[in-house]
Structure formats: C-alpha cells, structure tokens
C-alpha cells in the first residue's frame, strides 16, 4: 500500500508563527483586511512554509480547504482583538503624525534617531540577504514604545553603559521591540503577554553599575521579579524571516550551569533536560552549553532507530 501523507487538524505551530509574522506587517487603509487567499499566497513565498503546506500536507490536500482553515484563524484573531486587521498605530511610521499617537514634538529628536537606527538595521539585513523577505517597516506603534522606553531609562551616560557595551539608541531600540511586539500581540491577536520582567529590568537599571546589577540578580534569584522577554526572529536557510515571537531572555533564564553529571547522563535524559531550557541562538550560548545540542541529535537518532 502506498504511504499516505498525514496532515493534522488545526494549524501547526511553525505555520502559525509565520502567519503571525505576515499578519504583523503594516497595512494601509486602502489595503484593508488581509483575507485567507492573500495569506496563503504570502506563506507560499517562503520555501519552508511551501514545503510544510504542499509537500507534507500539514493543512490539508486541497487548496480551498487550506484557505478555509487559514481563514478561520484570521477570523479568530479579528474576533479576539475586536478589529478588522487595521489599526492606525500599525501604519508605517510618519514623523508628521506624532501628535496623532499622543506624542508632542519634543519627542522628535529621540524618535527620529531611533527610526534612523531601525532603517540602518533594515539596510544591513538587506545587504546580507538581498532580495529576501527580511524586514517590515517601523510603525507608529513602535515609535510610541521608543519614546516610552526612552523616558523610562533615565540617565544613560557613556560611563554608565560599560556593563552592556552598547549605546543608548541600541539599548532603547532593543528594549522597545519587546514592548511593541507584546502590545501588538494583545491588541491584534488578543493574546496577552507578561512584560513585567522587562519593565522590572528598566526599574532596577542593572546596566548602570555592579551594585545595581547585583541587586537585580538577587531579585531574580529570590523570585521577586520574573525574567524578561526577548524578541526572537526565526529565519530559513535563505535568510528569510519566517517567524517572530517573544521568548524568555537568554541572560535571565540560564541562571544555573550544566549538571555535573551531564556527560554521564543517558542521551534521553540529557535531551529532556536540555529541552526544558530555552535556546534562542547558539551564538549566544556559553561554551559549556554547546553539548546540549548533541543531546538533541542523539535523541532524534534514537527515535529514528525505534521507528
């Protein structure tokens, strides 16, 4: 008997995350709401998604059935957020409209500096992966959070960033990305996000000096505050961004070392331990953690043998 392709009910997480990435792109009033056919067309532009949808049949066999399944999810998001997939806050950034989002002209210098930095990051990514689906333009919602985070950081002089080794603009941009995405998740998808760990970080200001850093880490250790979140972008082999999501920040999650007996652990136990942790980017991992990746591979090999 020929091996039949299997597909599942609902939308698998990798496809769902890509849908969220596409849904987050700014739209003009003229474009109106995004419907299932357009969403499917956008998904098909990503090789990884095209493979999942049509080679592995993750959403079904027939195009009309796939479109209906996608459409139900888009309707669900609309219903949850009470919107029609268009919010003026999610339109492309326009400095002339600062008063429309409640910002005075005194915010201009800060917001424009951050917009220019955002443009530079986009240009850098485009040069690294020309012709690929990399960027979305900054929005009015982002500008609002740029200003809010700027106001929350207080003094941030050159002699106070040694512990972070980054400048103020980069710091504010990175911190604001989390609040922007969390705000967008709640207002556009109806999915609340807990950013209390992020504003606790702004409150403790551990970047200023070692004393503040130690106080912040004690608060984490004593569970008086939670870990902060970070925006994670997932890319495919061509460099296209296929998903973005909020995940616990690396530095606030890995607060204990690898178990002493890690090298002696059964591969399954080692992999299970590793999967309980959150790995955002191998490049950010301490050297002693790289062995956990081998545990993943060993587990997959064992499962293939059992099958």
3-state secondary structure the chain: CCCCCCCCCCCCHHHHHHHHHHHCCCCCCCCCCCCHHHHHHHHHCCHHHHHHHHHCCCCCCCHHHHHHHHHHHHHHHHHHHCCCCCCHHHCECCHHHHHHHCCCHHHHHHHHHHHHHHHHHHHHHHHHCCCCCCCCCCEHHHHHHHHHHHHHHCCCCHHHCCCCCCCHHHHHHHHHHHHHHHHHHHHHHCCCCCCHHHHHHHHHCCCCCHHHHHHHHHHHHCCCCCCCEEEEEEECCCCCEEEEEEEECHHHHCCCCCCCCHHHCCHHHHHHHHHCCCCCCHHHCCHHHCHHHHHHHHHHHHHHHHC
- Residue 38, by phi and psi: left (phi above 0), alpha (psi -120 to 50) or beta? alpha
Residue 19 lies in a domain: yes
> Are 96 and 244 contained in the same domain?
yes
Residue 257 lies in a domain: no
**Same domain flag for 205 and 56:** no
- Asked if 299 and 235 sit in the same domain, the reply is no
Residues 98 and 239 in one domain: yes
pLDDT in tens, 68-91: 999 999 998 888 766 655 688 988
Neighbours of 97 (CB within 10 A): 14
Give the whole-angstrom CA distance, residue 170 versus residue 155. 15
Domain containing 224 equals: 89-251
pLDDT tier at 250, thresholds 50, 70, 90: very low
Examine the domain organization and report whether 227 and 96 are in the same domain: yes
Asked whether 125 and 131 are in contact (CB, 8 A), the reply is: no
Whose tokens are 């532009």? That residue is 45
Q: Which of 52, 86, 120 is the last residue of a domain?
A: 86
What's this model's pTM, rounded to 2 decimal places? 0.72
Write the pLDDT tens digit of every residue in 107-121: 999 999 999 999 998
Residues 280-297 have pLDDT tens digits of: 333 344 444 344 444 444
Please check whether residue 95 lies inside any domain of the structure.
yes
Rounded to whole angstroms, the Cα distance separating 217 from 283 reads 23
Q: Considering the chain, what is the average pLDDT of its residues?
A: 77
203 plus 106 within the same structural domain: yes
Domains held by the chain: number: 3
Q: Are residues 163 and 134 in the same domain?
A: yes
pLDDT digits (tens, 9 = 90+) for 158-204: 544 555 567 788 889 999 999 999 999 888 888 888 999 999 999 99
């Amino acid at each position: 008997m020929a091996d039949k392709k299997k597909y599942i009910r609902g939308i698998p997480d990798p496809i769902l995350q890509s849908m969220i990435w596409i849904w987050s792109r700014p739209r003009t009033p003229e474009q109106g709401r995004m419907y299932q056919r357009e969403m499917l067309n956008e998904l098909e532009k990503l090789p990884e998604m095209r493979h999942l949808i049509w080679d592995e049949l993750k959403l079904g066999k027939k195009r009309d059935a796939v479109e209906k399944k996608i459409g139900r999810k888009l309707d669900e998001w609309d219903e949850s957020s009470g919107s029609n997939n268009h919010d003026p806050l999610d339109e492309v950034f326009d400095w002339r409209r600062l008063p429309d989002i409640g910002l005075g002209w005194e915010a201009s210098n800060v917001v424009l500096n951050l917009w220019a930095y955002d443009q530079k990051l986009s240009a850098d990514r485009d040069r690294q992966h020309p012709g690929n689906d990399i960027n979305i333009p900054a929005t009015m919602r982002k500008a609002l959070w740029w200003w809010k985070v700027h106001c929350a950081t207080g003094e941030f002089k050159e002699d106070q960033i040694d512990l972070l080794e980054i400048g103020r603009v980069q710091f504010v941009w990175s911190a604001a990305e989390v609040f922007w995405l969390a705000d967008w998740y709640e207002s556009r998808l109806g999915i609340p996000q807990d950013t209390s760990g992020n504003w606790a970080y702004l409150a403790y200001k551990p970047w200023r000096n070692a004393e503040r850093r130690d106080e912040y880490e004690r608060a984490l250790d004593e569970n008086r505050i939670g870990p902060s979140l970070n925006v994670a972008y997932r890319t495919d082999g061509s460099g296209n961004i296929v998903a973005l999501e909020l995940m616990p920040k690396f530095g606030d999650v890995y607060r204990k070392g690898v178990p002493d007996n890690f090298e002696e652990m059964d591969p399954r136990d080692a992999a299970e331990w590793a999967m309980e942790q959150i790995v955002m980017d191998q490049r950010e991992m301490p050297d002693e953690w790289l062995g956990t990746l081998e545990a993943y591979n060993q587990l997959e090999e064992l499962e293939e043998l059992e099958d």
